[in-house]
Amino acid sequence: MAEEHRSTQAELAELATEITRISRLSGELMIRLSRRWELPTVDPLNLRRPALQATWSTVRHPTRILGAQWALTRRYLSLLKYLGFRAVGRPTDPAAAPARADRRFRSEKWDEKLIFDLLKQAYLLTADWMLDNVARMQGVSADDRQRIHFYTRQFAEALSPSNFVLTNPEVLETTRKEKGLNLLRGFRQLLEDMQRGDGQLLISMTDYDAFEVGKNIATTPGKVVYQNEMMQLIQYSPTTKTAYTRPLLIIPPWINKFYILDLQPKNSFIKYAVDRGYTVFVISWVNPDEKLRYKRFEDYAHDGIFEALDAIEKATGQREVNTIGYCIGGTLLAATLALMKARGDDRIQSATFFTTQTDFSEAGELKVFIDDKQLKFLEKKIKAKGYLDGESMAMTFNMLRASDLIWTFVVNNYLLGKKPASFDLLYWNSDYTRLPETMHLYYLRNMYLENRLVERGGISMDGVPIDLRTIDLPVYIQSSREDHIAPYPSVYKTTQLVSGDTTFMLAGSGHIAGVINPPAAEKYGYWTNDALPPDPEDWIAGAEAHQGSWWPHWDNWLKGKSGRRIPARQPGDGDLPVIEDAPGSYVKA
């Protein structure tokens, strides 16, 4: 009896603690929200026009409505058939089943009770029916159909029974066992996330206290040997007695921080390259504020690539380098290579592209957010500060995989009341960076909206017309089969633009995991094919599958282009003094 009394007292104490925390957070949050209240802009997503067109097209063809209704009826009849067999204890296949990668219904509790099993299947049938009808929608352009399909999927994923207390058996069981304390913890964590976002919901994806940049993440030894207002240049310390003559310069995207390539020793691409005997230099872009609002696309080439090349020559005595460009860093590298070709500058001897787009005609679902009306709305938003908040860009990317990157954490954090697990990649994903006004608006309009980089002279840098077809140095192009940000059919198009010796390699997994796939993990695999037909599906049809990481394949490609081995260089040995230890101060801002 005494033990039960102590247990009750402990539960009440925990309850009181949570209520106190919630009260304090609620008050602080209301003050913050009152300071940043803004009236909503009407239709900022530009959905009204295509939605009205689609509705009008459907109304004018009643047979389509009847066909859609009958298709849904057939689906529910199959569910009734399943119910009948299940009621009499006869085994039968379900009317609908979640995809293997769908983590929403992986708990066995969804199958244990008939009510939740039926609820799950009814939802899957209906959501699939909605998306099928949108995919067959007539009377709208392909771009508008993609936009409607994207937001219909967002709507369907938001309505999943897994997202609500009363329709999620795992949440109900947890709530019963914990007497509702999980929901109080979840509400408190919701308030904490809104406080962290200054009134905007920034869902915690990992335990942020578990990582510290430079301490247990981004720890490969090296030194900052050069810096300007745009970037720091890091030279990594060798781990081999000899190194290749030709240095390697990595140009990461400025949409995120560079240490995606240096998470932890076990999955660091930078450490892998250093261990292979390359003298590795990496650009660490600054997190820009309003002072850099007028920085242009070519300023990233001048203050980034060109100043890095000059610094590398001073540090090593070597004029010629190999390069890697990742995502938008690769787009910048491609444009810069064409500029250098026009000027007769041959310092870059080879280029590797990670998940890089140069022809944006099939750029995937990111184009949903980019049309003339949305860009004008974004322009007004950016001009108020001179930059785009990193949180806004992060939410855009998360919406592309809302089921995994939004709703999974809503259920875990706010309904089950659990703290998210420690995961280095998701820590990096939440380490947002801002984007300067002039460069970002130029990039979205000229690349994504108007696709001008692919045209001969479509864009100019320093007054020089850019033509990617003049790039005639050796090129290695990496893409990922499940990439939702830079789809492989879009990345593949670069093979048809450049004119040098080109290798295309398709990795398993997506935009990040497809790149960060160390050999020790023995995951995903990759495909190669020496032929480069115009259609990427023809390339895949003739490709050879390989097990494990593609990193050794790239190493074998690059080492023949890196010169002889010489005594390894230490940062500071050349004409550039050491400024500070890697990963530097810019990445921590």
Query: What residues are annotated to the active site?
Result: 327
322 neighbors 337 (Cβ within 8 angstroms): no
User: Which residues contact residue 5 at a Cβ distance below 8 angstroms, ignoring those fewer than 6 apart?
Assistant: none
User: Which residues contact residue 465 at a Cβ distance below 8 angstroms, ignoring those fewer than 6 apart?
Assistant: 342, 456, 457, 459
DSSP class of residue 39 equals P
The span from the CA of 330 to the CA of 251, in Å, is 7
The span from the CA of 58 to the CA of 39, in Å, is 33
Nearest to 503 by CA among 542, 539, 532: 532
**Cβ atoms within 10 A of the Cβ of 530, count?**
9
The span from the CA of 186 to the CA of 184, in Å, is 5
Give all strands (DSSP E) within 386-440, no chain letters. 387-388, 435-436
The span from the CA of 189 to the CA of 177, in Å, is 20
The span from the CA of 123 to the CA of 129, in Å, is 10
DSSP class of residue 150 equals H
Nearest to 200 by CA among 43, 369, 392, 366: 392
User: Residue 554: what residue type?
Assistant: W
**Cβ atoms within 10 A of the Cβ of 209, count?**
8
DSSP class of residue 26 equals H
Is the four-CA dihedral 260, 264, 268, 270 of positive or negative sign? positive
450-459: long-range pairs with CB below 8 Å, 24+: 451/359, 451/360, 451/361, 453/331, 453/334, 453/335, 453/358, 453/359, 453/360, 454/358, 454/359, 454/360, 454/361, 454/493, 454/497, 459/297, 459/335
Q: CA-CA distances (angstroms) from residue 212 to 423, 482, 589?
A: 12, 30, 12
Longest CA–CA span in the chain (Å) reads: 88
The span from the CA of 467 to the CA of 338, in Å, is 6
The span from the CA of 31 to the CA of 100, in Å, is 44
Kindly provide the b/e burial profile for residues 456-484, where b requires at least 16 CB atoms within 10 angstroms of the residue's own CB: eebbebeebebbbebbebbbbbbbbbebe
DSSP class of residue 414 equals I
